[in-house]
């Protein structure tokens, strides 16, 4: 059984390895010690100023900016920490995905993520992060494929243009395009022609 100092050192090393900006919960250290022991060590680190407690059970290794000082936590990092804790999956909402992939300039009023876990709203400082339960099918594909599907849903079929499809293709590497084609059956039928254009090499399309 690990001694308290050993556990404390392992926790600190894991946080340092992840780097500034990492958001975590006690779940991320349960391979090192019991939940109670981990909780005690995280409280010690928080009181020493090494980590920041965002809300009950959620912490981060704060990032600092030379001019702005300590930065607010990244919403996606918070959502990812909750997903790990709950053994679930998440992905940005359709509107967020469209903005992230530069298909839309509209910035959602607040971060919303789809999850196969339970719906919830988390308020951290001035940020409100919403997790909405979604059908597992919408989260079953590879993360990169899911993001493309969500972005296309976000702009709507009527707004999908050749230029936008070409832009999506430029964002994906060969491995992601290959996976996108494998995930094609998980996309709505109306997306299939666009997804094939994104995924299939131009030479292969010419020969088809």
Domain spans, the chain: 4-70, 75-207
- Residue 23's φ and ψ, nearest 5 degrees, are -105, 135
207 pLDDT more than 50? no
pLDDT digits (tens, 9 = 90+) for 38-64: 999 999 999 999 999 999 999 999 999
Sign of CA dihedral 193, 136, 168, 181: negative
Alpha carbons 82 and 78: distance in angstroms, whole number = 6
Confidence band of 201 (pLDDT split at 50, 70, 90): low
Average pLDDT of span 1-10? 70
How many of the other CB atoms lie within 10 Å of CB of 109? 8
| Span of 18-32, 179-193, 194-208 with lowest mean pLDDT | 194-208
Confidence band of 10 (pLDDT split at 50, 70, 90): very high
- CATH architecture entry for 4-70: Orthogonal Bundle (1.10)
Gyration radius (Cα) of the chain, Å? 20
């Amino acid at each position: 059984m690990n001694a308290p100092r050993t556990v404390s050192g392992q926790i600190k090393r894991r946080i340092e390895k992840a780097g500034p900006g990492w958001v975590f919960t006690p779940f991320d250290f349960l391979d090192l010690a019991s939940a109670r022991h981990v909780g005690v060590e995280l409280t010690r680190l928080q009181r020493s100023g090494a980590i920041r407690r965002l809300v009950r059970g959620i912490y981060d290794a704060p990032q600092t900016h030379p001019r702005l000082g300590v930065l607010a936590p990244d919403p996606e990092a918070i959502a990812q920490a909750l997903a790990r804790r709950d053994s679930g999956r998440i992905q940005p909402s359709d509107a967020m995905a469209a903005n992230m992939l530069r298909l839309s300039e509209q910035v959602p009023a607040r971060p919303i993520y789809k999850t196969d876990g339970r719906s919830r709203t988390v308020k951290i400082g001035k940020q409100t992060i919403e997790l909405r339960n979604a059908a597992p099918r919408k989260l079953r594909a590879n993360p990169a494929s899911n993001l493309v599907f969500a972005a296309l849903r976000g702009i709507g079929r009527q707004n999908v243009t050749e230029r936008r499809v070409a832009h999506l293709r430029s964002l994906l590497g060969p491995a992601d395009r290959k996976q996108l084609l494998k995930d094609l059956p998980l996309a709505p039928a109306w997306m299939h022609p666009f997804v094939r254009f994104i995924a299939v090499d131009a030479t292969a399309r010419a020969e088809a």
